[in-house]
Structure 1
Amino acid sequence: MEDCLGRTASLEELHHEVESLFLREFGCKPDSVVYAPGRVNIIGEHTDYNDGRQRRHHPLNARLAQGHLLFLCPILNRNDATGLNASRTGANYVKGVLVNYKRLCGAFNSAIVSTVPLGGGLSSSAALEVATYTLLEQLFPIDHPVTPVEKALACQEAEHVYANVPCGIMDQFVSVMATENHLLCIDCESMRVTQVPFQNPHVVVLITNSNVRHNLGSSEYPVRRQQCEAASKAMGKRSLRLCTLEDLEAAGIEDETIKRRAHHVISENARVQQAIESLKTTDYYRLGALMNESHASLREDFAVSCPEIDLLVDIAQRQPGVYGSRITGGGFGGCTVTLVKRSHVDDLMKAIYDGYASPERRPNFYVCNASGGQRLESHKGRSCIHTV
């Protein structure tokens, strides 16, 4: 069991690792270290590009050290080597941020260490983008600093244009604006964010990485966007955010696939609102039930799950101490998110491992709490600067 748990390194351990990597590559310690988190979605999946509301939890940290253009992409887990050459796609995320930055940049050295799994639906790309932008702010200050929203949108644009991924805004928003011990509720129409307290020593979030990724993800994501746009158009609305289930029934949409896609988004928006109320009253049983409903909707209506993820969710939902479990991220593999009593998390991981592991696949686990967003640590003054 121990080598499957993928224990997430502490910030201090990662700090030491990235300093050692930078020293090995460049012969000196970095002047600055930048932190930016990935994210896991508690509820509100595939609603952001429909002007929906999303709640995000943000436990995983990617780090970018200052420096002349060495890109080491984030690793899958801590048992892998860290000195990996950047993939073309990974380098494109950084290039996009450099182009979208508000002033001309000079040369710099950098090294990257990360606990955000690649391809796991936990937003390693947004973490890299936001970390890069935050580093540039330190190296090449702008006369009139951008707002957090402008910063997140610049990073989103980098992903759209240079990585050719038509992502929504929630990943970058969380990485920029997250606050420790809070969930971030994002109104994707108005760009407003609300911090909702989430701090209970007896409740934790367990991320389970299935370590499978089906190729459908990259091709089906734009298809889902087109289907959602077709549904809102059929109802005469600007986006599904403005639609109700009654509107959907009255529209008489003949294409059952488009109808199901819209049904997920509309019902998911309603679940987010109910989740907010559940958190305010610390009703974790209700929140867990909403997570279970969300997974069923993503499996049946939005069709972005897969057998491996469904197995992980089914095992988790049947275990004592579990409030709820669902797929998280874009889908077709990746990770699940489970809300569980802290006293039961070890038994839960064992049950999932025993029920899922095979010679071809093993899960990795990350026990998380809500962390803060991007921040910069300057070695010159050894001061920790929180930028959110």
Structure 2
Amino acid sequence: MLLPEVLQEEARAFLGDALNEALVARAPGRVEILGNHTDYNGGSVLAGTIMYFVWTIGVPSYSDKVDILSTRFEEETSFHPGSLAPTNTNQWSDYVQGIYWAIQRRRHTPVPIRAVVHGNIPLGAGLSSSAALEVSMVNLVLELSGISLPAKAKAMLAFEAERLYCSVSCGIMDQFTSQLCKSESVLAIQCASMQTQDIPFPEDLSLLIVDTGVSRAAADALNQRRTECRTALSQLQDKGWDKRNLSQIAPRELSDVESVLDGVLLKRVRHIVMENERVRRGIRALEQGDLETLGNLLYESHESSRNLYDVSHPNLDLLVEILKHQKGVIGSRLTGAGFGGSVLAVVEREHVSDVKKHVSEKYLRESGIEPQIIESTIPGGVIVSKYQ
């Protein structure tokens, strides 16, 4: 595993001679292909990992404290694992503490570690830098502690650190994708049952992630959307609907939903129901090599996220419109929570260079912002190895 030079330098200084006994966990960011805001509604998602990562390199501590240095934030955090309580401050150190809290909540005893964390996933771009930190950390801590768990159980610990300890109303997609995704495949997740399926991704396609340059502060709005969905479900249940989550509503039932809900709540339900249908159709399109249908589904997803779930942003809409007119672009949509962040485009690999050039020029001209554009294949999920 190749390690960034800054990580190796900081690790040598922070860990000293113990570096020779260290382990490294590398967890990737993720991009959501289809399934916008369906995961916390018990629905289906389709996602893949990207060639940007969080690395954690560490050793068991010689004290009863956990000591973690972040190269990105140029900060060190220290804490005693036995004195943790959930928080909602959303500092990077909270996610680290959340991992220890989640492991102990499951009646395991993780050893204190001393470690250095480094990442190159753009922050605030909707690419799950927080989940990559959690997945990297949970795999390293478990390995150093000699605790063997199934991959999905590790992903759930990472999820619980964010959802229960850090009080972020996320679903399981981010952590499951970073943990479980296979190389050159996208991961289909049925979030209520936690069933997963690997779907091969065409070798001649690339993922382009275009950062709007508009940093998102999504936590409050994400919590609001989750509350709206819970309210909609509760009102349906009060009227006798036997549904455990909104994703159990079939498209053919939407006309009946209109007799119970209206306004914002009806819009939210329409989006969730039809987005789940788009995930199902997207899986089938990939399996059949039907790229035209896949592209149309991406555009439909963006329109629904904008018009029904109200999580888009003018700069996201601008980028999707620019990408739609570029040769070689199969489809495009906002990815992640929305409210800023990034747009995903599925692009024929032979046209990637031209697409990047034209999109960068046109977006800069129309928005005044030079976009950061990531080209990626799908590297697979987390890796743990001995430091070399």
> Does TM-score exceed 0.5, indicating one fold?
yes
TM-score of the two chains, using structure 1 as the length reference: 0.87
Aligned twin of 1:312:
319
CA deviations over 1:41-84 (Å, ceiling 9, x no partner) = 111110011110111110132111113613316x5xxxxxx746
Answer yes or no: is 1:121 the counterpart of 2:126.
Answer: yes
State the distance in 1 between where 2:90 and 2:195 align. 34
CA distance in 2, matches of 1:282, 1:347: 24
Return the alpha-carbon distance in structure 2 between the equivalents of residues 54 and 198 of structure 1. 15
RMSD of aligned residue pairs (Cα, Å): 2.0
**Structure 2 residue 24 is matched with structure 1 residue 24:** no
Q: Is the 8 A contact 2:312 2:334 kept in 1?
A: yes
Name the aligned partner's letter for residue 243 of structure 1.
I
Q: More displaced, 128-137 or 26-35?
A: 26-35
* Whole-angstrom distance in 2 between the partners of 1:85 and 1:349: 37
Structure 1 counterpart of 2:248, one-letter code = L
Is the 2:94–2:166 Cα contact (8 Å) retained in structure 1?
yes
Separation (CA, whole Å) in 1 of partners of 2:32 and 2:216? 20
Q: Which runs of 5+ in 2 are unaligned?
A: 62-66, 78-88
Query: Of 286, 292, 316, which residue of structure 1 is paired with 2:293?
Result: 286
Partner SS state of residue 227, structure 1: helix
Q: Counterparts of 1:104 and 1:254 in 2: how far apart (Å)?
A: 47
Give per-residue Cα distances to partners, 1:230-250, cap 9 Å, x unaligned: 223343222111112332221
- Residue 361 of structure 1 and its aligned partner are, at CA, apart by 2.9
Q: Is the 8 A contact 2:210 2:372 kept in 1?
A: yes
Q: Deviations over 1:183-212 (max 9, x none)?
A: 100011111100111141x21110111121
What stretches of structure 1 of length at least 5 have no aligned partner? 1-10, 76-81, 383-388
The Cα of 1:85 is off from its aligned counterpart by 5.9
Taking structure 2 as the reference length, the TM-score comes to: 0.87
C-alpha spacing 1:52/1:334, structure 2 compared with 1 (3 Å): same
Q: Distance in 2 between matches of 1:332 and 1:339?
A: 21
Amino acid across the alignment from 1:362: E
Deviation of the 1:25 alpha carbon? 3.2
Q: Distance in 2 between matches of 1:344 and 1:316?
A: 12
Amino acid at match of 1:365: I
Q: 2:98 is matched by which residue type in structure 1?
A: G
Could you tell me how far apart the structure 2 residues matched to 1:88 and 1:370 are? 28
Partners of 1:227 and 1:298 in 2: CA distance: 15
**Count of residues in Structure 1 that have an aligned counterpart in Structure 2:** 358
Q: Does the 8 Å CA contact 2:125/2:216 hold for their aligned counterparts?
A: no
3-state SS of 2:272 partner: helix
- Percent sequence identity is 32
Aligned residues of 2:209 and 2:344 also touching (Cα < 8 A): yes
User: What SS does structure 2 have at the residue aligned with 1:208?
Assistant: strand
Aligned to 1:79: none
Report the secondary structure of 2:341's partner residue.
Answer: strand
Whether the aligned pair in 2 keeps the contact of 1:62 and 1:115 (CA below 8 Å) is: yes
Say whether 1:100 aligns with 2:90.
no
Distance in 2 (CA, whole Å) between partners of 1:187 and 1:269 is: 10
Contact 2:110 2:142 in 1 (8 A): no
